[in-house]
Each structure stands twice: as structure tokens, then as C-alpha cells.
Amino acid sequence: MVGLMAAGFEERIQSLIDSITFAADTPSKLENLHQLKQELLGVEDDTTVSFSDFLRSLLKLLSDCFSPVRKCVTEVIGEIGLRHLEILPEITPALLTVVDDDTPAVARQAITSGTNIFCCTMEKIALQSGSDGKRLLALKFVAAIILIYTPDPNGGTELPSHLISDGKEAGFTISCVRRGHPLLKIGDLSIEASQSLRLLLDQLRLPIVKSLSTSMVVVLINCLSAIAVKRPSFYGRILPVLLGLDPSNSVIKGLHAYGVQNALKECISLLLEVCTP
């Protein structure tokens, strides 16, 4: 019975893709795309539906002659990727290709979709249980993204002519495109940074913090203090969480209160020294 339902679903999806492919006008294509999106996003995580059966046909729509259709298809593919990470090896190269689309709106959508998928994946790695090695790297990546996606109050507004200089990173941030950019939207990236910061802060709140190892808590404290120093606009959100962190409540799974307390003392002292007028 389940197999028949899955087969029926896949037939509907393929029928909608065919309708989009052979429709002669943009409104008809977009109407079918909207219906296709609703069908695909309604698929449960534990379904027996195989996306690989129609994914190739869906990706072909990225070359449609109408730019609004290409933009909508890119959005649909991005949202599917967020829910079904197993198809990322297929859709990621396609999104990278769309970044070179001649229509800026389509390229922007590809960047937005790709960014959301990438950040979501790294955040899941950072927050999931398992090897601390992977999680620590993911936490540092999320912290780096927050800095890149927010303006540097001490940085310039000129886009660097190169990303690498004398073997060191040039320190690109969104400040470099503050005057405007055809693809990057500062407002959207700032929202993404704010949401990522909330995820990091939540890790240091009860009850989540009780499940973390010493190294995880210390890295979180160091990352958040660095963000507060480099982005003073986040100071008011970060300092209360650090001040409210009681190491004695975090002694679990071998967590050593002394290590956390020492990291807290150093970081809070630094914040008060740097950020206090």
C-alpha cells in the first residue's frame, strides 16, 4: 500500500514537471511550479519516496528560457535541499552553475539558497551529538560566518582586489559591499547572522549546556566573546548569557568547572575592558 502511494506521488511530480517543461507561457509554468513546490515540501522525512527518480528532470528546469521560472525552480530546489540533505550531492553543483546566470535575480536566489543550505548543514553538525572534533570546527565556522555577514565598524568599505595578501586572508566582511552589490543583500545576510548567533547563545543556556563537554563550552565562550569584541552591536546579547553561565550547573559528562570558569573569567574581563566606554 505504501509503495503504491509513493508511486502515485512520483507520477504526480513527474506530470507537474512535464507540464512546466512544455507550457508555452510564464504564468502557466509558475502556477505548476507553485503546485510542485507544495507537493515536494509536503513530503515527510520518513517517506519512502525517492527524490532521485525525478530530481534530474527537476534540475533541467534550471535552464528554462524564462528567468522567473529559473528563479522559482532555484528557490524550490533550495527548500527541498534544506529538508532532505541526502540530495545535496546532486543539487549543490546545480546551484553553483546557476550563480553564473545572466539574470541577477536568479543568481541572487542561487546564492541565497546555497548559503541557507550550507549554514544549515554546518549548524546541524555543530549542534548534534557525536565527535567533538567535527562539532568544534563547525562552531568556529558558524562564528566566522557571523563576522563575515555583519559590518565591521573598524573596516573599510572598499572591496579587496584580492582575497589573499602575503599569505594571509584579507579579512573580507559585508562592509566591503556596503555601497551596494547586484547579488548580495546586506539585510538578508545580517538576518542570517543574527539567527546563527541565537543558535550559539542557546547552547550556553540550560538545559542544553549540561550536555556539552568542557571543550565545547570553552570554544563557545571564546567564539562569542570574539564576536562581541569585533561586533559591538551584539555585545548586549552576548554578555548577559556569559554572565549568567554558572559552571557549577554544567558539571556533567566529565565537564570540569575550573576550565569553564577560567575561560569565562578571561573573556568577561576582556569584554568589560574593550567594550566599556
pLDDT tens string 48-64? 566 777 888 999 999 99
Region of 233 on the Ramachandran plot (φ > 0 left; ψ -120 to 50 alpha; else beta): alpha
Helices (H), the chain: 2-22, 26-41, 52-60, 67-83, 88-98, 104-127, 132-148, 186-203, 214-230, 235-243, 257-275
> 128-151+170-275 belongs to which CATH class?
mainly alpha
Asked if 259 and 221 touch (Cβ cutoff 8 Å), the reply is no
pLDDT digits (tens, 9 = 90+) for 202-232: 999 888 888 888 888 889 999 999 999 999 9
Q: Where are the domains of the chain?
A: 128-151+170-275
In a 13 Å sphere around the CA of 193, the CA atoms on its Cβ side amount to 25
pLDDT digits (tens, 9 = 90+) for 130-155: 667 778 888 888 898 899 889 888 76
Region of 151 on the Ramachandran plot (φ > 0 left; ψ -120 to 50 alpha; else beta): beta
- How far is residue 33's CA from residue 43's CA, in Å, rounded to a whole number? 16
- How far is residue 170's CA from residue 160's CA, in Å, rounded to a whole number? 7
Dihedral sign, CA of 218, 223, 229, 232?
negative
- Asked whether the predicted pLDDT for residue 74 surpasses 90, the reply is yes
Asked if 91 and 80 touch (Cβ cutoff 8 Å), the reply is yes
Residue 197: partners with Cβ closer than 8 Å, 6 or more residues away: 146, 227, 234, 237, 238
- How far is residue 110's CA from residue 93's CA, in Å, rounded to a whole number? 11
pLDDT digits (tens, 9 = 90+) for 79-137: 988 888 778 888 988 998 999 899 999 999 998 898 888 878 777 776 666 667 778 88
> Residue 249 — pLDDT band, cuts 50, 70, 90?
low
- How far is residue 46's CA from residue 147's CA, in Å, rounded to a whole number? 36
Asked if 82 and 120 touch (Cβ cutoff 8 Å), the reply is yes
CB atoms within 10 A of CB 103: 14
Report the largest interatomic distance among the alpha carbons of the chain, rounded to a whole angstrom: 69
Averaging pLDDT over each range in 136-140, 177-181, 203-207, 233-237, which range is the top one? 233-237
